[in-house]
Amino acid sequence: MHPAFSVVFFTTATGAGYGLLALLGVLAAQGFVPPDFWLGLVGMGLALGLISAGLLSSAGHLGRPERAWRAFSQWRSSWLSREGVASVATFVPAGLFAIGWVFLGRTEGWVAVAGLLAAIGAVATVCTTGMIYASLKPIAQWHSRFTLPGYLIFSAMSGSVLLNALLQGFALGSTILLAGCTLLTSLGWGWKVATWRYNDRLEIPTNANTATGLAGGTVRSVEWPHTEENYLLKEMGFRIARKHNARLRQITQVLAFALPVLLLIAAFTLRWPYAALLSALAAIAQFAGMLVERWLFFAEAKHTVTLYYGR
């Protein structure tokens, strides 16, 4: 698949934003995060800012962005429509939670309820995003048991690393949170490696014979459908060289997983503000690495429509 940057940024930014929003909603409601004005302003501003930037970026991939509102009407059958509905609905409790925390200085009562509802909405939205790709049977690399859990793991991972950087910046960090970030990042690393191994060994059952229903012999095209590249080939038939693929996987593992883990472990041994600096660097490195990981997620996917073009 063609890895359009608008969609790459959308999945990366919203994943981190919803992960941070969910953690803030749960922890603030439980009293683990103080109702501080600047902490709430920066934390909710970062979470909602990432979500909004990602959603706006996704509109850049639409052929007719002015018709995007029509997608909301197909929520009964379309995961893309359900994602849109869930993302907009989540802004309601998230907005109330932000108002109560930032302007009223409260994280209990109805503000805590709004925070929990925002967390539920964030998780639901990430699930719908993951199901957009997991439900696509023509793309075997996505239609697997790894896709949906991967979206949830990466969202929790990036959200926790952002939360740690946020709290460390306000001198509110804890060893428990650092340990949780390290474990989630290690889990995400293992899940990504397992996903790559599964995809590399994947034997796609569909070929020109099964697609045409002509089981006897070997089916081949006498003449190609087009003499030059068209929209389908550019979008669905994108190919990446093996050497570039291997190099980008290495970059992903270093930036998204290995370097953040090392920085978080180093933060254990240091006091503020050095621990805060390392935590911020871990969040920045991981976000950059997840951009590369999302690019590969699209670039490595193969749509069965390319069989029609002899690929």
Taking the domains of the chain in order of start, what are their residue ranges? 5-60+69-213+225-309
Higher pLDDT, 173 or 46: 46
Q: How confident is the model at residue 80 (pLDDT cuts 50, 70, 90)?
A: confident
Average pLDDT over residues 54-68: 70
Q: How far apart are CA 236 and CA 2, in angstroms?
A: 6
Average pLDDT over residues 232-253: 75
- Of 5-9, 120-124, 270-274, 307-311, least confident by mean pLDDT is 307-311
- The half-sphere exposure of 176 on its side-chain side, counting CA atoms within 13 A, is 2
Q: How far apart are CA 122 and CA 54, in angstroms?
A: 14
Quick one: which of 58, 87, 63 has its CA closest to 75? 87
Helix axis angle, 5-29 relative to 79-98, nearest 10°? 40
- Stated as kind and residue range, the H or E segment containing 92 is helix 79-98
Write the single-letter amino acid at 178.
Answer: L
Q: How far apart are CA 7 and CA 56, in angstroms?
A: 10
Helix axis angle, 147-169 relative to 110-134, nearest 10°? 140
- Chain position carrying tokens 């803030």: 24
Question: What is the structure's pLDDT at 19?
Answer: 96
Question: What is the structure's pLDDT at 7?
Answer: 86
Residue pLDDT, tens place only, 179-221 = 999 999 999 999 999 999 998 887 766 766 766 666 666 777 6
CATH number corresponding to 5-60+69-213+225-309: 1.20.1630.10
pLDDT of residue 272 exceeding 80, the answer is yes
CB 150 within 8 A of CB 192: yes
Cα–Cα distances in angstroms (integers) from residue 143 to residues 149, 243, 281, in the given order = 12, 25, 34
Residue pLDDT, tens place only, 16-35 = 999 999 999 999 988 888 88
Task: Count helices and strands (H / E) in the chain.
Answer: 11, 0
φ, ψ at 303 (rounded to 5°): -90, 140
| Torsion region of 239: left, alpha or beta (phi above 0 gives left; psi -120 to 50 gives alpha) | beta
Strand partners, 139: 303
